């Protein structure tokens, strides 16, 4: 059900061609975190940097993936009490902070709900209203206590799921690994979630294609960018169909059903990949009006691209000049 492999090729083609050909370009493609990943780096040390980056993906997956029986999050979900590594506790802290900031719109405790709908096993089902109501009682972040590295799940059945933030954290870490290896130019693409390092070797910006939520593929537009994460959430990324209705993997924690906010996709552009990932998920749940309000009032530095189900394209002022699309663009500025 994923169009990401096609998009990957497109992003790579667009972002990497015309680089002047002087720097040594290396690419690594693999499947991890349930998605196709392509990592690219330019420079003498590119090969080694990319190997280390791939290992980093595996390392982080084995900390954060709630479906991996050896991960810290899986163990915490089972054992209910665990001293986490410093890193896992920091990612969990961020997820809990986003939850607090948004009154639970971002909810890292909805693993029971993801399981109920079958998103964790791909054995999809539409639950009854009663099942959803009962499961929602378990998905309360107040049942999770984090004190430094000590995490406790206080209610039986409550489980964590960092799927809304883990890939953004991972892309930020990969950029750090590339930098540590002396790389000044590169791009990581984790299933359509992109983060760029520096500019292309010829000094120009990368061009990142933003995937179109329309069923026929294609793209929403092109963003010229450097040194930033470009992370998109949309109901078209992972979904199933039952009796002619589509159900996707971004949940409204208030209803327990896939979010129907009127938005088709949300893209966040920010230096901080973790922030971009969490925000793309939660602004999608909020819908256009609240998402624009959130962006307007936020003290964080990020730009947004919102695409509504009725094909309205809203782009924030900071990136309006770098974004091109066949749709009419409504540019928004902060009050
Ligand atoms: P993707 O991982 O496909 O790029 P997202 O970043 O939007 O897309 O993350 C979707 C994932 O986030 C879901 O698979 C689930 O694990 C988790 N999730 C779903 N709804 C929420 C929510 N309201 N708050 C936090 N995490 C969520
Ligand atoms: Mg996300």
Residue 269 in tokens: 């552009």
Q: pLDDT category, 111, cuts 50, 70, 90?
A: very high
Query: Strand, helix or coil at 306?
Result: strand
What is the rounded average pLDDT of the residues 282-308? 98
For atom 4 of ligand 1, which residue has the closest CA?
A: 233
| pLDDT (tens digit per residue) in 243-286 | 899 999 999 999 999 999 999 999 999 999 999 999 999 999 99
Ligand 2 centroid–CA 45 distance in Å is 31
Q: State the pLDDT at residue 215.
A: 66
Main-chain dihedrals φ then ψ at residue 185, nearest 5 degrees? -145, 125
Task: With cut-offs at 50, 70 and 90, classify the pLDDT of residue 214.
Answer: confident
Query: Within its chain, how far is the Cα of 180 from the centroid?
Result: 23
Mean pLDDT over 203-227 rounds to 91
What's the 28 CA to ligand 2 centre distance in angstroms? 23
**pLDDT tens-digit readout, 77-108:** 999 999 999 999 999 999 999 999 999 999 99
Q: How far apart are CA 334 and CA 295, in angstroms?
A: 8
pTM, two decimal places: 0.93
Nearest to 108 by CA among 251, 294, 276, 230: 251
Q: Give the distance (Å) from ligand 2 centre to CA of residue 147.
A: 24
Ligand 1 center from residue 243 Cα (angstroms): 24
- Per-residue confidence at 10, pLDDT binned at 50, 70, 90? very low
Report residues whose beta carbon is within 6 angstroms of any ligand 1 atom: 106-108, 110, 114, 119, 161, 163-164, 167, 193, 233, 237-238, 249-251, 253, 277, 280-281, 285
């Amino acid at each position: 059900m994923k169009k990401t492999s096609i998009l990957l090729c497109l992003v790579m083609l667009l972002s990497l061609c015309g680089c002047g050909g002087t720097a040594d370009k290396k690419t690594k493609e693999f499947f991890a975190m349930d998605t196709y990943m392509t990592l690219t780096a330019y420079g003498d040390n590119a090969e080694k940097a990319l190997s280390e980056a791939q290992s980093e993906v595996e390392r982080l997956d084995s900390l954060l993936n709630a479906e991996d029986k050896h991960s810290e999050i899986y163990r915490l979900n089972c054992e209910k009490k665990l001293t986490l590594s410093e890193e896992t506790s920091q990612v969990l802290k961020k997820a809990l902070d986003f939850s607090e900031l948004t009154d639970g719109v971002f909810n890292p405790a909805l693993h029971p709900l993801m399981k109920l709908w079958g998103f964790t096993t791909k054995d999809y089902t539409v639950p009854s209203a009663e099942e959803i109501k009962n499961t929602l009682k378990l998905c309360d972040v107040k049942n999770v206590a984090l004190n430094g590295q000590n995490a406790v799940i206080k209610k039986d059945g409550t489980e964590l799921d960092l799927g809304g933030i883990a890939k953004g954290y991972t892309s930020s870490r990969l950029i750090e690994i590339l930098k540590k290896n002396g790389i000044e130019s590169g791009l990581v693409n984790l299933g359509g979630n992109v983060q760029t390092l520096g500019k292309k070797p010829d000094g120009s910006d990368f061009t990142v294609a933003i995937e179109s939520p329309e069923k026929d593929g294609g793209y929403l537009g092109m963003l010229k960018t450097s040194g930033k994460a470009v992370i998109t959430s949309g109901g078209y990324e992972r979904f199933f169909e039952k009796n002619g209705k589509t159900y996707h993997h971004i949940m409204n924690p208030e209803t327990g059903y896939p979010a129907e906010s009127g938005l088709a996709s949300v893209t966040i552009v920010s230096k901080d990949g973790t922030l971009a990932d969490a925000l793309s998920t939660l602004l999608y749940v909020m819908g256009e009006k609240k998402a624009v309000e959130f962006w307007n009032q936020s003290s964080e530095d990020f730009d947004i691209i919102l695409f509504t189900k009725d094909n309205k394209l809203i782009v924030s002022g900071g990136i309006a000049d770098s974004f091109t699309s066949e749709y009419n663009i409504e540019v928004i500025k902060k009050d």
